[in-house]
Amino acid sequence: MRPSLYLHPHPLRKQCQKFITGKISESSTEHFEHIATFIRHNKAQSDVYGAGGFVEDFEHKMATHLGKEAAIFMPTGAMAQLIACRIWCEQTERNTIAMHPTCQIALNEHDAYAVLHGMKPTFIGEYQRPFDVKDFNELTSEAVFVYELPMRQLGCIAPDYDELLAHLKTIKEKGIKLHLDGARLWEIAPYYDLSPSQVCTLFDSVYVSFYKGLGAFGGALLAGDNAFIEQTKIWRRRHGGDIKTFLPFAVSAAMNFENACAELKKDKDRAIRLAKFINNTRSMATQPTVPQCNTFHIEFDASIESLTQIRDEIAKTNGIWTFDYFFQPFPDMKPRFEYVAGNHLDQFEDQDLEKVLKLFDNVSKRS
């Protein structure tokens, strides 16, 4: 399995001047200063426990952007998705939710859907692969299907548009609600050459994140019809999610939203550029072969120990940070790294990038 999401950055990373992965980002101090400047310049008013002020205006704007009637700001994506599933379970008078076995709420939230809400899971498909349309024949009387787009644990893979429509049609024909786990919606929408609203109209409810690809301070959003969002307000309160004000979170999400979305399109091109180099080596490969967004997996034909050793040697000798933490999903699978493309990659000329990658290719051949 992948390392904990909460691992601290490696000490050697701090000593490096160049980075292959990730974005050149502002410091926390700079970010807070920009939030304060935005609030002053726009005379942004504080909400009171989520009511009124700038956050309500932002929610209306995001609802339109996502093609939904209404939206609500949430402190975290975990809270947002649990609330969405609970509402659909109550509305349909069923208590089973369907998802792929690699879905975020299945892997990383300590069974919160069961412990907190008594909901039961139906796992559709197999861990090692994306959905096949035949997988959905296993569905029976679930309340809601949590559809993660793209599938992060498999290399941020997404089905092509016709496949996606076929999947959702089969689910809907069984009377099951459709919820989009859109934590990386901003990243994958360009793959379909569609706007976020065109993707979201396929689903009954939608969750999006603001801090992942967009680099905001934190926070998430749920969107759906008016009746659904009215219910979310009650459940946010029950979850203890009505903090005194959402203003700094909402401003952080809003102030660079359009620029960040545009940058993600460039990041996809950066990912494709790097994948070409990797797939020309003898012992490394990307999953998928052509990245569909800014994130993909790199597979190595070497041990995690040898990969970590060469990573550290490159950092010490060249001042270049390559990859953070390697992981092995299953004992019979090759070690891999989840790569996120960003403007750090622009620091390298093609020939320099190729030289660095060949060092990993060489260690792989020696292992």
Predicted pLDDT at 367 = 54
Instruction: Determine the angle formed by the axes of helices 257-278 and 350-366, rounding to 10 degrees.
Output: 50
Domains and CATH numbers, the chain: 11-26+259-366 (3.90.1150.10), 47-244 (3.40.640.10)
Intervals of the chain under pLDDT 50:
1, 3-6
pLDDT for position 351: 87
Q: How would you write 206-232 as a 3-class SS string?
A: EEEECCCCCCCCCCEEEEECHHHHHHH
Cα 234 from Cα 77, distance rounded (Å): 17
pLDDT value for 144: 98
Query: For position 345, what pLDDT does the model report?
Result: 87
185-192 vs 257-278: helix axis angle to the nearest 10?
70
Per-residue pLDDT at 366: 55
| Structure confidence at residue 6 (pLDDT) | 44
Helix runs in the chain, H state only: 28-42, 53-65, 77-92, 104-107, 112-117, 161-173, 185-192, 196-200, 226-238, 247-254, 257-278, 304-318, 350-366
Q: What is the rounded CA–CA span in Å between residue 23 and residue 73?
A: 25
Q: What is the pLDDT of residue 24?
A: 82
